[in-house]
Amino acid sequence: MEESTNKWLYRFQWIAVGIALVVILFYASSSQGADNKSIQTPKEWKPYVRSDKIDEWPTQIIYDTMIGCYEGTLRWVLLSNPQLTGIPPGIMAQRQMLEHCFCVMDRIRREISIEEYQKRVFEQEWVGNIFITKAFECVKEEKTLPSFFVIQGDKEIEVVPNNPVVVPDGETDDSQEESPDQKQEESEGSPQTIFQG
């Protein structure tokens, strides 16, 4: 008896869901379901336009460019700080790299029209030069990536030292064996770099 009741309830649930979906679809497709007078047709759309040419850039190009900038910035940081290789960037490192890429992206969008960018985006040398030039400008002028780079004088960018590992004389990194307790104690302290999560 209990089994037949459970089967009936199970079937009733699915029937109720089906009926609800049919009612929703019917209401959504009916002319009474929406006020068609307030819906604009594509001919009536008037996009928001500012005089600033930054608004001409499509979202997809901005997204693709930001992803490319982020990956390039990550490579730049890792090339300048090889001791960070293999350590996933923490939230503060990610934030600094994103802020840096927004700076780079804004500078590119202000100086290069979308038409020129779309024509030349696949020229690796041109794109590389644009990005590295704007990246240096952002680090120098806007002080982006402060945990990784600092400005020395007017032109030089120096790598911020990230607590280099000191190995005693005669020992290599591989020869230093630690017990699991020692490793646990070290990991409980505050992270040495913002690359540690």
Residue with tokens 């100086």: 111
Q: Indicate the domain borders of the chain.
A: 53-159
SS (H, E, C) the chain: CHHHHHHHHHHHHHHHHHHHHHHHHHHHHCCCCCCCCCCCCHHHCCCCCCCCHHHHCCHHHHHHHHHHHHHHHHHHHHHHCHHHCCCCCCHHHHHHHHHHHHHHHHHHHHHCCHHHHHHHCCCHHHHHHHHHHHHHHHHHHCCCCCCCEEEECCCEEEECCCCCCCCCCCCCCCCCCCCHHHHHHHHHCCCCCCCCC
Work out the average pLDDT over 38-56. Answer: 50
Q: Given this model, what pLDDT does residue 33 score? A: 46
pLDDT in tens, 110-157: 999 999 999 999 999 999 999 999 999 999 999 999 999 887 776 677
- Is 7's pLDDT higher than 80? no
Task: Tell me the whole-structure pTM to 2 decimals.
Answer: 0.56
Q: Given this model, what pLDDT does residue 28 score? A: 63
- Is 39's pLDDT higher than 80? no
